[in-house]
Every structure is written in C-alpha cells, then in structure tokens.
A and B are shown apart, each in its own frame.
Chain A
Amino acid sequence: MLPGVQVGQPVAHRLAYLWRAPAWGRPLLVERSSWDRCRRGLSIEGNDVVEFFEATLNWPSWLAWTAVALIQCFLLINLVAGGALFFIWLERKVAGRIQDRLGPTRVGGKFGWLQTLADGIKLLAKEDIVPKEADPFLFRMAPYVSFTASFCGWLALPFADNWVGQRLNVAVFFIVAIVGLEVFGVILAGYASGSKWSLFGAMREAAQVVSYEVPLGLCIVVPVMIAGSMDLVTIGNKQAGYFTNWFIFHDPAAFVVFWVYFTCAVASVNRAPFDLAEAESELVAGFHTEYSGLRWSFFFMAEYGSMLLVSALAAILFFGGWHGPFPIISQGLVPALAAMTGASVDSPVLVYLANLAGCANLIFKAVIGVTVMMWVRWTLPRLRIDQVLTTCLKYCVPLAALCFLAEVWFQLYPHTNPMPLNRLQWGAPRASIEVREGWLPLSPVSPDDVQEAQLTHSQEHRG
C-alpha cells in the first residue's frame, strides 16, 4: 500500500493524493491480474464448482466451464420464470385483499397457490395468432427481445458474497444499461402488431422509459459514491454488520434518494401507477393487445423479472444486500458451528451455509420490494402522461441531482453528516473489505517501472 492511502479515507484525502501523485513519478496503481477469477468470459466467482468438476470428476477444462455456464443459466432462468409464477399468484392475492376479496382460492388446495400454473397451461394451449396487418418477423421476435433484456441483467447480480453469474467491476452500470433495453421489445411489439393501440402504448412506454433513465442513473450514483466501487459484491459487503451500516441510513441524501430510486424503478419497469403503455381504459391492452398464448406470457415474465431485478438491486444498494439486520449468521451461528465441529470458520461448508442464508436474505428483501410495488399498484390510480413526465422532470430529476450534490458534500465533510449511526460501524469489519478498483496498489511496483515513469515525467517537464 502506498503511504497515506487507506480504503476508508474521505474523498478529499484521496483527491489530494491524486493530484500529488504524478510528482512522485511512479504509476498510481498497479492492477492485479484477475485472470484467476475471470477466465474465458465464463466465470463463477471463486471457481469452486469448476475446480470440483476439474479436480474431483476429472473433467477437461472446457467441459467444466461449459457445465458451470449451463448450470448458472439454468438457475437464473428458473429464478426468473419461477419468480414470475409466484409473483403473478401473489399479485392476485394482494389485489384481492386490497379490494376486499379473497383472490384465487381453489387450485392447488389452500390459497390457490397453483393458480398461475393452471393459467400457464391454459396459455400454452392457446392459439398463436399473428394478425394480418402485423410484421410477422418482428411480431414473433419482440417477446424474446424483452425477455432476453430482462434476463441479462441477472447475469451481473450477486445473490450472496461472490455468488454471482459474472462478477463485473461495473455491475451497477451494466444492470442499469440492460434494464433500459427491455423497452426495445415493447416498441417492436407495438410497431409490429399493426394496431393503433399497440403503437400508442409502445410510444408512451418509450417516452417514459427514456426519460426515467436519467433520474435512475443519478440515484444509483449515490450508493456507488458511498461504497467507492461499482462492483455490487463490494457494495454489498461494505454493509456488513448491523442494519445501521446499511447505506440507506448512511446520510440524509442516501435516505431521500432511495425513495426517488424506488419511484423511478417502478416507472422504468412500467408498473402502475406508471403503466400508461397498457392503460386498459384507453388503449385496450397497450403494446400486447394483439398477443396471445405463450408470447404474451413472455412479456409478463420479462415484467416480473425486471421488477424482481430492480428490487434486488435496491436491496443491494440501500438495504445491505445479503446481510441481515443483525449479524446472527456470520458472527453468531457460523463461529458457534465452527467451535462445535472444530472446523475452521472459512471451511467450505460453513461458507456455503452462510452464503445460502445470505441468498435467502437478499431474495426475501427483493420480494418485499416487489410486494410494495404491488401495494402501490393496487392503491394509486394511474397517472396521465403529462403527470408522468412532470413527476420525472420536475420532481425526480431535481431531487436526485440535489441528493447527488449533498452526497458529494457528505463525502467531503463527513463530520457534518447528521446521521452518525453509520459511523458506529457495529459489527462490521469494514476496513478489511477489499475495493478492487481504485486506490490500492495491488502488487509491488518494479523498479524499472518507477525509473521509466520518472524519465517520462522529467522529459515532459523539460518539453
């Protein structure tokens, strides 16, 4: 580590270091090769599974990697599809209860919990219609485009410490970029249907999603600034310990920006009260008016997948990710089990158990987020298009920009932060958490590099 630089230091010190550094005439940071971690573009963090296939089962490397990639895709697709099944049932129950009804009660015994499966079988049996006026190629492609975009975001989302399809150092940015592409399928569907209602719905959705990308991006910068990293695994791990370490309690700016994020997220996944694209009272069913059967259900899988995705992202960015409100597992259960069995705290089984609990934690938080979205949907009336754009441009964008500036202020002058809960750092060994990007020289600098850099530097000064 270079002198005077530590992970937890405020931005001011880092900046001062940044401007001083070139005069030392040596590279600021030397990055570690993470070849071990990201091999051939198909990696699982830690590669335990690959190692298992290679070492224990004696599979060739390429087969092990292929198997791991297939397993990950299988798990993720089932999460999205199974999630959709569950959430459609949940939505009906929530809607029913809010409207003083029971919702589905019969299929599958109690609570009608198999209702969605029955609906799914019905959808499979429906005729796959392509209207006469439609553009057949685009009409057929559109649902898959939507679903693919919604699914791709999951590739970079961690479910527990290092439980992630592909650990990206810009995971937040990647997910935001991908979530915005879901609207592609909607526009194609609206155009290709050859129907006025579909086209109007698609145009509304395009206007809405494009404008809500702006505040959404601004909101996400705030937790990124607190964590000092765009890597979701690092962001999650920085909130270890008690719930006081969650970023939503870090400072007032983060607290406010969460609500702005949630509003924008609801709008960007096109849910009520922002569901103008499928306003039944005006547009029949909006962009999916002409769809039936399985293609129609693909749009809904994409919608519920995106809802779960933005909720899981909110859980990681603001609510501690896979860390519970109290560190019962990592600081209570795991050490106790280790003491009982005589195993090390880092033994694979215990780490696996802790991660499993973390994964359950994250999914629980994400489900709460989705439930709140449903609650909002069945409580509030639908907004008009001008109200939708006003909410974005006149409220969300200024609020997000203000929070962004406030967060910069709190990073520069942490002692002015009126929410000092976070500084207690109960139960969080945060200094030990590695920030992969940025300020740590990760391997020693060779003398040749230093000499060369000094040479370049002095030549520049002479020039």
Chain B
Amino acid sequence: MIGAVIDWSAFLFYLFAAVACGFALAVVLSNHIVHMAFYLTLALGATAGLFLLTGSQFVGAMQFMIYVGGTLVLLVFGVMLTAQHRFVSIRTRAGEWITAAVLGGALLMLLGYVAWAVPDWHAAPPAHVPPEQVESTSRLGLALTGVRMDGGSGYALPFVIVSVHLLVVLIGAGYLARARVRVSDAAARKEMP
C-alpha cells in the first residue's frame, strides 16, 4: 500500500479527458480516412465516458447511440470510398491547413472564453464535495414534453420542429434514393413482346 489516496473520480476524469483529446488530435493529424474514423470513435466514446462519470447516464448512452453509432456510418462510407484505393489517403494542402486553423482557433477561443466566464470555476475548489447524483432522465423527458421543473417553457415546440425536419429529410432521402427506371430499361421492356 502506497498510503496515497487515489481519487477515482478525478483519475477517471483525467483519463477520459486525455483519451478524448489525444484521439481528437490523432483524427486531425492522421491522413488515413479509416484510421481517422477509428480515432474519432475512441474520442467520442471517451466523451461518453465523461458524461457517464458525471452521472448523466441518459446523455452518455445517447452519445454512444448517436455519435459513436453515427461514426459507424462514416466508417462505412470511408471503407466504401477507400475500397477503390482512390481516396485512401487524404492530403491536406497548406490553404486548407490555414482555413482549418482559423476556424478551429476561433471556436477554441469562444469555448475558452465561455469556460473562463463561469464564475464558480474561478474560486478555489472546495475540499471535498460529493457530487450530487441527479437522475436527469425524467427531467429531460419532461422538458421535451413541455414541462420544466425549474420553470421556463420546455422544449415541446423545438422538439416537434426537429421531428418534422427529420421526417422531411427521411422522405427526401427516400425520394433521392428511389429506384429510377432507366430509359434503356424502359425501352427494352417496351420492345419485349
């Protein structure tokens, strides 16, 4: 026994944060599209771990379902594209580096500014506060149906708008991907007795 006390929540926070940041960097620096998708999965999975660590179980599971699962589709596309050995490695040109650096830097500055603006984070951390485990799932569900526990108007309308938007997208995708009868096929069919 070392005698040292390991604060597991802090340890796991740093671990997941390091994994998330490290693999996010790896996504940027890698040239291989399938490797990128794999690193992105790990980064997003570590983010889900961070959510679960704070007790936001619903958001954590959602992160797995939507982001990690969504990257799966990205991976499928990546594999389909690179199977032809045309896009197997992506070269980033200098102009793209500059654009990306400006955009990413602007976002980083904004996020950093917002993070520093949180007043609670300026004070010294209290000695030991057991994090309140809030079971947020029912709150989220109620807020989506239009009732918020902390007052306010809920999110029924945005929820419906997003749902309708998704429906439109689905129908549009179905329309675009529908099997078109090719002219030659139709002509061939006409010629058949």
Residues on A lying within 8 angstroms of B by beta carbon are 18, 21-22, 27-29, 31, 33-35, 37-42, 60-63, 65-66, 135, 137-138, 141, 168-170, 173-174, 176-178, 180-181, 183-184, 187-188, 190-192, 199, 202-203, 206, 210, 213, 230, 436-438, 453, 456-457, 460
Q: Are A141's CB and B137's CB within 8 A?
A: no
Q: Which residues on the A side are within 8 Å of B145 (C-beta)?
A: 18
| Chain A residue contacts of B137, Cβ below 8 A | 169-170, 230, 437
Residues of B within 8 A of A18 (CB): 142, 145, 147
**Which of B57, B83, B139, B147 has the most chain A CB atoms inside 10 A of its CB?**
B57
A60 with B65, Cβ < 8 A, contacts A29-B138, A183-B72 known:
no
Docked-complex contact A65 and B8, CB < 8 angstroms: yes
A42 & B69 in contact (Cβ 8 Å cutoff): no
Inter-subunit contact B38/A141 (CB<8 Å): yes
Contact A173 B8 (CB under 8 A): no
**Interface of B with A (CB < 8 Å)?**
1, 5-9, 12, 34-35, 38, 41, 52-53, 55, 57-58, 60-62, 64-65, 68-69, 72-73, 75-76, 79-80, 82-83, 130-135, 137-139, 142, 145, 147, 149-151, 153
Q: Is B72 within 8 A of A184, CB to CB?
A: yes
Least CB distance, B88 to chain A, in whole angstroms: 10
User: Hey, which chain A residues are within 8 Å of B153, CB to CB?
Assistant: 460
Inter-chain contact B83/A199, CB cutoff 8 Å: yes
CB distance from B76 to the nearest CB of A (A): 5
Closest Cβ of chain B: how far from A97's Cβ, in Å?
A: 38
For B64, the chain A residues whose CB sits under 8 A away are: 174, 177-178, 181
Whether A180 contacts B149 by the Cβ 8 Å rule is no
- Closest-CB distance, A367 to chain B (whole angstroms): 27
Q: A39 → chain B, closest Cβ, in Å?
A: 8
**A21 proximity list for chain B (CB < 8 A):** 147
Which among B34, B139, B151 is the interface contact of A456 at CB below 8 angstroms? B151
**Interchain CB contact under 8 A, B7 and A62:** yes
A436 to B9, CA, bound (A): 24
CB distance from A177 to the nearest CB of B (A): 4
Which residues of the other chain, B, contact A169 by a CB distance below 8 angstroms? 57-58, 135, 137
Report the minimum CB–CB distance from A419 to chain B (whole Å): 28
Q: Among A33, A65, A199, A438, point to the contact of B79 (Cβ < 8 A).
A: A199
B147 near A180 with CB under 8 A, answer no
B-side contacts of A178, CB under 8 Å: 64
Contact at B61–A177, with CB atoms within 8 Å?
Answer: yes
Assess A62 versus B6: contact at CB under 8 Å? Given A31-B134, A170-B58, A177-B64: yes
